Structure 1
Amino acid sequence: MDLNYYDTLIAVADDCPVNGAVVPALRGGKKTVAVVQFDMISADPGGLTQEDVLFETWLRRRESDGLSESERAELRAQFFSRSQACLRASPLPKKYGWGLRFDAAGRVTLCPMGSDEYEEIIAGEVPGVNVLKAMRSKRA
């Protein structure tokens, strides 16, 4: 089952508390989900899919270093055997003002709120790109 998005922008949530993209910071000296996802996507723009980001975030938060490829593959299969929240629930578009732009191959890049690219996509000026809002943090 393919959980990736294609030709899609996950736009910033309606109740996002910032007016522009903000780089997430460590909390208590530890990497939060937002920091892990921001670091991962910004280090390899257009190199990861939603599935990659979800699994790697989970794995890095468990601090599972030194796994063999077969161990990683087995953990990934176990991880996706349960339903997972998609990146519409990521803190990046919910709290930090980062849109998540997926290309035709399902690869993700960060798209900062307020940037020309973000505004053009939101305005419907980029044909073939679906826009989905990130999930709200609070009930409407």
Structure 2
Amino acid sequence: MATHTTNYRSTFIEVAEDCPAEHAEEPPTGEKPTIAALHYRLIAENPYGRTSDDVVFETHALRQGIDPDDAAAREAFFAKGQPCLRSSPLGKRYGWGIDHDADGRVALVARESDDYAMRAADPAVAHTKAMRSRRA
């Protein structure tokens, strides 16, 4: 069975062109965590500790009540294509860039930070933008 991946390597996902947040914001947490809150928690608690696939699957597992360590469930999940972190609300709504290191592990970068400006101008990594919330 072919498996799909959402991982990027040595890539910086910049915030969407229509992102309303001038400064990076932590997504609100409620009784049932949103995708944004789960993405934020999983990446922020362990910068460069998880790949995009890890974050996307763990978010799915937590929302569906599946064990995040269930290898068969993970394989079934990635048997079909899944949206990558370009579609995450973190870059579309909350002002976070997402940096992927050479091994595909991810960390958050606040859009107003010097670190963000440095990464956005770095020719040594690939650049892409988070998906827009609305059509142009």
Same fold (TM over 0.5): yes
Under a length normalisation based on structure 1, what TM-score does the superposition of the two structures give?
A: 0.89
Q: Is the 8 A contact 1:121 1:131 kept in 2?
A: no
**Greater share of helix:** 1
The percent identity for this pair of structures is: 44
Separation in structure 1 between the aligned mates of residue 5 and residue 132 of structure 2, nearest angstrom:
24
Query: Does the 8 Å CA contact 2:6/2:83 hold for their aligned counterparts?
Result: no
Letter in 2 for 1:42: A
**Counterparts of 1:22 and 1:57, CA distance in 2:** 19
- 1:10 aligned to 2:8? no
Structure 2 counterpart of 1:21: 24
Listed as ranges, the gaps of 5+ residues in structure 2 are none
Q: Secondary structure at the match of 2:135?
A: coil
Return the offset for 1:2. 4.3
Structure 1: give runs of 5+ residues left out of the alignment.
none
Q: Secondary structure at the match of 2:12?
A: strand
**SS of structure 2 residue aligned to 1:59:** helix
Which residue of 49, 52, 69 maps to 1:50? Answer: 52
Equivalent residues in 2 for 1:68-107 (5 A)? 69=69, 72-107=70-105
Larger radius of gyration between Structure 1 and Structure 2: 1
What TM-score does the superposition give when structure 2 sets the normalisation length? 0.92
2:109 pairs, out of 104, 107, 111, with 111
Partners of 2:119 and 2:53 in 1: CA distance:
23
Q: How many residues are treated as equivalent by the alignment?
A: 133
1:83 Cα deviation from its structure 2 partner: 1.1
Deviation at 1:50? Answer: 0.7
**Structure 1 letter corresponding to 2:102:** A
- Is residue 60 of structure 1 aligned with residue 62 of structure 2? yes
* Match for residue 128 of structure 2 among 116, 129, 132: 132
> Matches of 1:30 and 1:110 in 2, distance apart?
22
Shift of 1:26: 2.2
Change (3 A) 1:58 1:2: closer
Q: Which whole-Å CA distance do the structure 2 matches of 1:47 and 1:21 have between them?
A: 21
